[in-house]
Chains A and B, each alone.
Chain A
Amino acid sequence: MTQSHAQEPLLEIRDLDVSFTTANGEVPAVRGANLTIYPGQSVAIVGESGSGKSTTAHAIISLLPGTGRVTGGSIRFEGTEITTASKQEIVDLRGRSIGLVPQDPMSNLNPVWSIGFQVKEALRANNVDVTRGARKGLESALVTSETAVADGDRLIGRKSKSALLDVLRRSLLEGHDGKPPVSQKTADAAVRAADARIVVGSTTRLEAVNALEDAGMATAGPAVDAQRVSADLDDRVAGLLAEAGLPDALRRAKQYPHEFSGGMRQRALIAIGLAARPKLLIADEPTSALDVTVQRTILDHLEGLTRELGTAVLFITHDLGLAAERAEHLVVMYRGKVVESGPSRQILADPRHPYTQRLVAAAPSLASRRIQSAKQAGVQAKELKATTGGTGAAGGRDDVVVVKNLTKVFQIRGSGKQKDFKAVDDVSFSLERGTTMALVGESGSGKSTVANIMLNLLEPTEGSIHFDGVDLSTLGSSELFDFRRRVQPIFQNPYGSLDPMYSIFRTIEEPLRIHKVGSKKEREQRVRELLDMVALPQSTMRRFPNELSGGQRQRIAIARALALRPEVIVCDEAVSALDVLVQAQILELLNDLQTELGLSYLFITHDLAVVRQIADRVCVMKSGRIIEAATTDEVFDTPREEYTRELLGAIPGANLDVVPAGLEGIDPA
């Protein structure tokens, strides 16, 4: 649905400069950015954190944080210059012309107000006529592809809906207009069908007539006309939430954010962003905090909705796959500058700028093979060992960790009654020495619980874990101490897993000191060695976590985990919080270290794209059970379970056929 470019652009950014004032003077965040969006078009700005993509987006609705300000260039929205607009003009623009779907659903809803209240505010502030769902004076909105809202048409409210369903049931049961009565069962089914089609606060009267007639009512027109009460504000709020894909919206609207899951909150935020039917929707990393499958449904929904409404969408994302899949046009930003822009497919197939080339090569969703470079050496070494009988394992297969029938039950204290929740249900797998095993699943699938039991941070309810042939549950306290030395974790959040008060040296040295390894001098030598190993300068030792970037911190976390020369490393979403390029570097580092040191990894992740790059075997978890276990290639090429296929299908960019062709030229492998 590319628009003819003869049209007036909706948004035009020319030579935009944005700077932040710091103690050390002006720091430019965006330098000479250009961007054009036509009505109804979808555009994505792609870049890593700090590339200026979010800053550009925030400049459009004048929401630059802190000391940020536009220092040059222009932003024109429908011909109005935004950079010089008055405060009132900006307030008028926000919500009604330009909507925002923010990044993190957890922090973007006010915890003390109900969801419905927060949606309602968006309607009130923008003077929306709730009976029609359109802004007063602007009949642009609520246009579904086939039914334009006829002049005077209104939205169905909850009272009208229940009255109409009653009429439908009665007419069907009693027979009407020459139609014979139908059985109770048929009538119930028809009412259910109509019930599902008529959405309070979203369905128009015209659509209601259609729905009732499809359900078997001969002439529904008069019945609908008889309904004098149209939708009120609460109905419209429910309608908006339902349009955003929230089930049971009337009841849900009364709940508070903490009663919603992340995906539901994101739907509420989409409802808020689209409430006043803006012409442009800025979606700032709308789903990066969500599971892949949830991400997919939400993006599908957003795409359908904005297409129906004819809303232009500006995606801000670090995920090239997602951008290419969802947007027609890509703008790649790097260090505040737009380095490349053009139609999505063209950029993927033929990236010109070196940065874009790196981005395309590193995009985990697009890279379709195991990291090979160093790995091959490892495989050869292993084969060599195998042929010479070097491993010493009896069956040729040397499992360092064997998990048998693991079950973990948590007791949840609900309203007075205690309920049992099986977080892990009869899970068995084994981890072969020197390989990587990935445990994949959505949040709530129990994968992190398994990790915590493996690290002996949680006691299993049933089942056993054997580490190097020894049952973990039999370990005494000194043996447990030894065990901790041999199994080390790397956690998801590099910002939270390092003590901000500890210098890097102290952070890495601490495990050595606790385990009384070497003299002071030897320990310092070891810390230097470890920093070399994770490719950080030795001078990093004297710095503190807040002075390092996310990628650097994760390297520190890896160095700390390696300090005690462990055999097994449990990586709990170790790269999920990182940008694609950093993610690729860390994965390569982990891979090289595995080859060098013969490490075994248990890799916990929700991201199948990452799995493909690092894992040898994959276990897919769902609701506490392992539903599929196989080699990585088998899982990706011939997934057996429907759920696995769903997960695979949900990887952004997975279905872009252009990708392999585009990748061939660049992939270093």
Chain B
Amino acid sequence: MVRYIGRRLLQMIPVFFGATLLIYAMVFALPGDPIQALGGDRGLAPAVADQIREQYNLDKPFFVQYLLYLKGIVTLDFGNSFSGQPVMDIVKRAFPITFRLAMMAIVFEAVFGILFGLIAGLRKGKIFDATVLVVSLLVIAVPTFVIGFVVQFFFGVRLQWFPPTVGGNVSFESLLMPAVVLGAVSFAYVLRLTRTSVAENLSADYVRTATAKGLSRGRVVNVHVLRNSLIPVVTFLGADLGALMGGAIVTEGIFNVAGVGGTLYQAIIRGEPTTVVTFVTILVVVYIVGNLLVDLLYAVLDPRIRYA
């Protein structure tokens, strides 16, 4: 087990170098000159532009730039953004917010998705099941920005139950609405996955055996149906964690959350290699660690899986 985790962590090293190199190359290949763009319509004086280029190593060949960036990382210097702010400061500001948002979203989709999916699976073909299926289909079909604006308008502006935007006030209440919107689509998927899985396991032979033992219905469902049904759901949730961390651009935009998505989007537009590479690399690491956790959880849920 320890060896397995060690091996998985070692695998992160090549992934780290590969990811940074790839992203660096892609930002390098972006069309347009980021420095000229800083000057807006009037443009920068050639001397100023050259100075900025030198400051950010943009005058050097690609590989030299990349190696200089790596050298900085080794000394824990992640470089500065074009506005002169250390990238690490931006990371420290953006990631905690997004992390909280993603966690709230994932708890929401896991708890409600599994709960509704379980009930729907147990009552397959009944009215609850039919309703839930239609609603979840709607949630999947309607784009996030539509759901986002509708929810914001009704609960934030009209009813004023929640603050309509987050802004600088990052509290549990203000993040609640964005978290639900962010987790809505995955919630629908988790629900459907759980429902199918439960309905399928319900007719498994071992469930009949458990019933024949004299167990109560509740115990049969909790002990024998639910645990077996959660195995595919856990896989989905693990992969989703990575997606929620990086892919919240639309939701963060609607609710004005100063998180990873928005910051990354701005950095890409500005063509800032240091910010983009650092952010994406952190996301890659989060994704890998998330997957590792899922694999470990998998082994807890299913004893047939043993890592050596």
B224: Cβ under 8 A from any A Cβ: yes
Query: Of the candidates B204, B212, B219, B302, which one forms a contact with A99 in the assembled complex, judged by CB atoms under 8 Å apart?
Result: B212
Measured CA separation A632–B19 after assembly (Å): 69
Pair A107/B206 contact, Cβ less than 8 Å: yes
Please state if B203 and A65 are interface contacts (CB–CB under 8 Å): yes
Whether A392 is near chain B, meaning CB under 8 Å from some CB there, is: no
Q: Quick check: which of A37-45, A119-127, A226-234 contacts chain B, the rest being far away?
A: A119-127
B235 at the interface (CB under 8 A from A): no
Q: Are A95 and B301 in contact (CB under 8 A)?
A: no
A220 to chain B minimum Cβ distance, whole angstroms, is 37
Looking at chain B's contact residues, is the secondary structure mostly helix, strand, loop, or mixed?
helix
Is A126's CB under 8 angstroms from B214's CB? Answer: yes
Determine the distance from Cα of A265 to Cα of B209 in the docked complex, in whole angstroms: 13
Which residues 202-224 of B sit at the A interface, judged by CB distance below 8 A?
203-217, 219, 223-224
Residues of A within 8 A of B31 (CB): none
Interface assignment of A384: CB less than 8 Å from any CB of chain B? no
Q: Bits for B288-306, please: 1 = Cβ < 8 Å to A, else 0.
A: 0000000000000111100
Residue B60 CB within 8 A of the other chain: no
The verdict on A102 contacting B219 (CB below 8 Å), with A94-B213, A111-B304 known, is no
A111 touches B224 (CB 8 A): no
Q: Does A3 contact B (CB under 8 A)?
A: no
When the two chains form their complex, are residues A110 and B210 in contact, meaning their CB atoms are under 8 A apart? yes
Question: How far is B225's CA from A632's CA once the two chains are assembled, in angstroms?
Answer: 49
Docked Cα-Cα span, A391 to B219, in Å, equals: 70
Q: Among the listed B213, B228, B301, which residue makes an inter-chain contact with A125, where contact means beta carbons less than 8 Å apart?
A: B213
Q: Does A645 contact B (CB under 8 A)?
A: no
Task: For residue B207, give the distance in angstroms from its CB to the closest CB of chain A.
Answer: 8
Residue A415 at the chain B interface, CB threshold 8 Å = yes
Cβ contacts under 8 Å, A66 to chain B: 203
State A99–B213 Cα separation when bound (angstroms).
7
Contacts of B228 in A (CB 8 A): 110-112
B209 CB, nearest partner CB in chain A, Å: 5
- Find B205's partner among A87, A102, A114, A256 (CB 8 Å cutoff): A102
Listed residue (B207, B209, B219, B308) with the most chain A CB atoms within 10 angstroms of its CB: B209
Q: Tell me the bound Cα distance from A104 to B210 in angstroms.
A: 14
A100 near B: Cβ within 8 Å? yes
Query: Measured between C-beta atoms, what is the minimum distance from A194 to chain B in Å?
Result: 33
The answer for the CA separation of A37 and B13 in the assembled complex, in Å, is 70
Residue A480 interfacial (CB < 8 Å): no
A481 at the interface (CB under 8 A from B): no
Contacting B303 at CB < 8 Å: which of A92, A107, A114, A275?
A114
Please give the distance in Å from B255's CB to the nearest CB on chain A: 40
Question: Does A485 reach chain B (CB closer than 8 Å)?
Answer: no
> In chain B, what residue has the closest Cβ to A92?
B214
What chain B residues lie within 8 Å of A114 (beta carbons)? Answer: 303
How distant is B203 from chain A, measured CB to nearest CB, in Å?
7
**B7 close to chain A: CB less than 8 A:** no
Pick the residue among A108, A112, A256 that contacts B301 (CB under 8 A): A112
B82 to chain A, nearest CB (A): 53
Q: How far is the CA of A109 from the CA of B212 in the complex (A)?
A: 12
Give the complex CA separation of A275 and B213 in angstroms: 9
A586 at the interface (CB under 8 A from B): no
A451 at the interface (CB under 8 A from B): no
The yes or no answer to B227 lying at the interface (CB within 8 A) is yes
- Say yes or no: is A269 at the interface (Cβ < 8 Å to chain B): yes
Which residues of the partner chain A approach B204 to less than 8 Å between Cβ atoms? Answer: 107
Contacts of A104 in B (CB 8 A): 205
Question: Which residues on the A side are within 8 Å of B303 (C-beta)?
Answer: 111-112, 114, 256, 258
Residues of A within 8 A of B215 (CB): 91, 95, 121, 125
The answer to whether A112 and B227 have CB atoms under 8 Å apart is: yes
Query: Which of chain A's residues have a CB closer than 8 A to the CB of B217?
Result: 87, 91
Other-chain residue from A65, A103, A122 in contact with B213 (beta carbon distance below 8 A): A122
Chain A residue nearest to B207 in the complex (CB): A110
Question: A112-B302, A121-B223, A256-B303 given as contacts; is B214 within 8 A of A96 (CB)?
Answer: yes
B212 and A102 form a contact (CB under 8 A): yes
Complex CA gap A63/B211 in Å reads 8
Residues B209 and A100 in contact, CB atoms below 8 Å apart: yes
Give the residues in chain A near B205, CB-CB below 8 Å.
Answer: 102-104, 107-108
Residues of B within 8 A of A276 (CB): 214
- CB contacts under 8 Å to A, within B246-276, are none
Q: Say yes or no: A94 contacts B210, CB within 8 Å.
A: no
Whether B206 lies near A109 (C-beta < 8 A) is: yes
Residues of B159-180 contacting chain A, CB below 8 A: none
A residues 256-298 with Cβ under 8 Å of B? 256, 258, 269, 272-273, 275-276
- Chain A: minimal CB distance from B231 (Å): 8
State which of B211, B219, B302, B308 has its C-beta within 8 Å of the C-beta of A94.
Answer: B211
B206 touches A125 (CB 8 A): no
> How far is A118 from B224 in the complex, measured between Cα atoms in Å?
10
Contact of A102 among B208, B216, B227 (CB under 8 A): B208
- Select the residue from A63, A108, A110, A256 with max chain B CB neighbours within 10 A: A110
On chain A, the residues within 8 Å of B304 by CB distance are 111-112, 256, 258
Indicate with 1 or 0, residue by residue over A140-160, a CB within 8 angstroms of chain B CB atoms.
Answer: 000000000000000000000
Q: Which single residue of chain B is at the shortest CB-CB distance from A106? A: B205
CA distance A93 to B214 in the complex (A): 7
Q: How far apart sit A113 and B303, CA to CA, in the bound complex (Å)?
A: 8
A401 vs B95: C-alpha distance when bound (angstroms): 72
In Å, the complex CA distance between A125 and B211 comes to 10
Q: Are B214 and A108 in contact (CB under 8 A)?
A: no
Looking across the interface, which residue of chain B has its beta carbon closest to that of A282? Answer: B212
Please give me the residue from chain A that is nearest to B203 by CB atom: A65
Query: With A and B bound together, what is the CA distance between A104 and B206 in angstroms?
Result: 10
| In the bound complex, CA of A269 to CA of B203 (Å) | 18
Which single residue of chain B is at the shortest CB-CB distance from A126? Answer: B214
Q: Given the complex of chains A and B, what is the CA–CA distance between A571 and B212 in angstroms?
A: 38
A96 contact set on B, CB distance < 8 A: 214
Q: In the complex, which residues of chain A have a beta carbon less than 8 angstroms from the beta carbon of B213?
A: 94-95, 121-122, 125-126, 272, 275
Asked, given contacts A125-B219, A256-B303, whether A109 binds B209 with beta carbons under 8 Å apart, the answer is: yes
- Min Cβ gap A37→B in Å is 17
> Which A residues touch B210, using CB under 8 A?
110, 118, 121
By a CB distance below 8 angstroms, the chain A residues around B207 are 110
Residues on B with C-beta less than 8 A from A113 are 223-224
Chain A residues 47-93 with CB under 8 Å of chain B are: 61, 63, 65-66, 87, 91-93
Of all chain B residues, the one with the shortest Cβ separation from A96 is: B214
Q: Complex formed: what's the CA distance from A258 to B216 in Å?
A: 26
Q: A107 CA to B204 CA in the complex, in Å?
A: 8
Closest residue on chain A to residue B300 by CB atoms = A112
Q: Is the CB of A122 within 8 A of B214?
A: yes
The chain A residue with its CB closest to the CB of B212 is A100
A–B pairs, 5, beta carbons within 8 Å: A91-B214, A100-B212, A125-B215, A275-B213, A416-B308
> A91-B217, A125-B216, A272-B209 provided; 16 other pairs, C-beta below 8 A?
A87-B217, A93-B214, A95-B215, A99-B212, A107-B204, A110-B210, A112-B227, A112-B301, A112-B304, A122-B214, A125-B213, A125-B215, A273-B212, A275-B213, A276-B214, A415-B308
Listed in ascending order, the chain A residues whose CB lies under 8 Å from chain B are 61, 63, 65-66, 87, 91-96, 99-100, 102-104, 107-114, 118, 121-122, 125-126, 256, 258, 269, 272-273, 275-276, 415-416
4 closest pairs, A vs B, by CB?
A95-B214, A100-B212, A107-B205, A94-B214
